[in-house]
Amino acid sequence: MTKLSVNINKIATLRNARGGNMPNVIEVAKDIEKFGGQGITVHPRPDERHIRYDDTRELAKIVTTEFNIEGNPIPKFIDLVLETKPTQVTLVPDAITNITSDAGWNTIKHKDFLTEVVSEFKKNDIRTSIFIDPIPSMIEGAKAINTDRVELYTEAYAKGFENKTKKIAITPYITAAEVALKNELEINAGHDLSLDNIEFFKQNIPGLLEVSIGHALICESLYLGLENVVQMYLRKLI
């Protein structure tokens, strides 16, 4: 079964919009685990516009499944990861001003930098994953960096699925997964995955260990309920 890690950034966005502590991101994380979620993901950004650094510290104390921290490895982020020691850190090359992630790493251009960062995290027993486009040369570049996993950036797939070209859209991801497995890299995926498109993706990607889903899952939960939606994803990921 592919594991479901729920990104709770949007819960924090809702809380921050009003001030106070409603909804409580700590209690929501506990509920997601109780509902069957197999991981909690956060993506703290330098301006703390949704998940705050202190949220991350508190979550590290209570998450009992897998805790995944995503972000651009600027010094402040690296210090946070080394302090909280999550199960996994996912390195994402998002600019400070980005609304959301919009590209994977160029693992060839940034090889030396990423190798240094990955080495530091692995020395601290933190599994590393690199956010990456489904491009074989970038996958091979990730292998040279000595990361444990790659996370396939799935926005292009999601757009193709929505535009009724799912067979064309999935093809680069199948190839990327095959290259990753050939290079003994484990495979995660995330970005714009939803109840509509997750099952087809899961069925076609060999070796898919984990998906990280936040925006769509929280939006779907507004209509269907959080517990119900988590269970629906789990059934599609078997």
Which sequence positions are flagged as catalytic? 43, 70, 191
Q: Are 27 and 226 in contact (CB under 8 A)?
A: no
For residue 110, count CB atoms less than 10 angstroms from its CB and return exposed for 0-12, middle for 13-18, buried for 19 or more.
Answer: middle
What is the sign of the dihedral through the CA atoms of 190, 165, 135 and 178?
positive
Q: Where are the alpha helices (DSSP H) in the chain?
A: 9-18, 25-34, 53-62, 75-84, 111-123, 136-145, 155-162, 166-182, 198-204, 215-224, 226-236
* Residue labelled with tokens 């960096």: 145
Rounded Cα distance, 43 and 67, in Å = 11
213 touches 233 (CB < 8 A) = yes
Answer yes or no: are the C-beta atoms of 48 and 80 closer than 8 Å.
no
Residue pair 67/87 in contact (Cβ under 8 Å)? The answer is: yes
Answer for the pair 161, 140: CB distance below 8 angstroms, yes or no.
no
List, in order, residues 6 or more apart from 237 with CB less than 8 Å away: 1, 2, 3, 4, 198, 202, 211
